[in-house]
Amino acid sequence: MLRTLVKKPLHLFGIDLVRYRPRYEVGPYAFLQTLGIKTIIDIGAHSGEFAEMIRGILPDAQIISFEPLKDEFNELERRMQSVANFKAFNLAVGEQNGRASMHRSDYSQSSSLLPMASLHKEAFPESAGHKEEAIEVARLDSALSECKLDREILLKIDVQGYEDRVIAGAPNTLSSCKAIIIEVSFRELYEGQALFDQIYETLKTKGFSYRGNLYQLLSPLDGSPLQADALFVRQ
């Protein structure tokens, strides 16, 4: 009754009131507790939002995070400084080692090694502005070469269109993974990115089964699905 009383006058002005759903709420990820995860590799960690959430679900797992943007990396380390089994690398992850220029978006979570496509700018104009930031890039297999990774491993990839390059540089790591959470796009939001179908086929050939989406982003232009955090589990 209270919800109706609040929402009805808003509807007169074309406004609806809906439940806020944060991207990394615990509920959709609780299933991971059944997989025996011991190591979490967090690629595209930003300021530690995922790392902080997943630690609440899997408190005994070690977390290894990668974040290329300096300011966000510093916040990630500050947020996770009291976590004993946490390690962070100030790196982007790709198909080869080297240096690159990151397109740092005005909305930092939209920053990418790929140029932003026109659809992204139209749907989310607040993210369209950007500046260049020099970063280091490493193959995941190279970056983890001296790390002890206890199985089972959960790999999370959130790299704004660069997902296929991360996969290309991580054959050894992928062979040890139990599950993957990967941001996938259904329409081109970054120029030259691989879309869901290609990511699905690639991971299928590597022995992973698609289990659905843990989060989905809809277009503010027409309500169509644009991105999702897709879950793949080794068959």
pLDDT 10s digits, 63-116: 999 999 999 999 999 999 999 999 999 999 999 999 999 999 999 999 999 999
Under the banding of pLDDT at 50, 70 and 90, the label for residue 6 is very low
Q: Which of 1-10, 19-28, 76-85, 145-154 has the lowest mean pLDDT?
A: 1-10
Taking the C-alpha atoms of residue 26 and residue 200, their distance in angstroms, rounded to an integer, is 25
Cβ atoms of residues 164 and 199 within 8 Å: yes
CB 93 within 8 A of CB 42: no
Whether omega for the bond prior to residue 152 falls within 30 degrees of 0, making it cis, is yes
The yes-or-no verdict on residue 125 having pLDDT over 80 is yes
pTM given for the model: 0.89
What pLDDT is stored for residue 27 in this prediction? 78
Q: Looking at residues 113-128, what average pLDDT do you find?
A: 97
**Contact residues for 57 (Cβ-Cβ < 8 A; gap 6+):** 26, 29, 30, 32, 33
Tell me the pLDDT tens digit for each residue of 29-72.
999 999 999 999 999 999 999 999 999 999 999 999 999 999 99
Which tokens sit at 31?
């299933």
Q: What are the structural domains, with CATH classification, of the chain?
A: 21-234 (3.40.50.150)
> Residue 19: which pLDDT band, with cuts at 50, 70 and 90?
very low
- State whether residue 214 is helix, strand or coil: strand
Q: Largest Cα–Cα distance of the chain, in whole Å? A: 61
* Residue 21 scores a pLDDT above 80: no
* Phi, psi for residue 118 in degrees, rounded to 5: -65, -35
pLDDT at 24 over 70: no
Judged by DSSP in three states, 13 sits in coil
Give the span between the Cα atoms of 131 and 202, in whole angstroms.
32
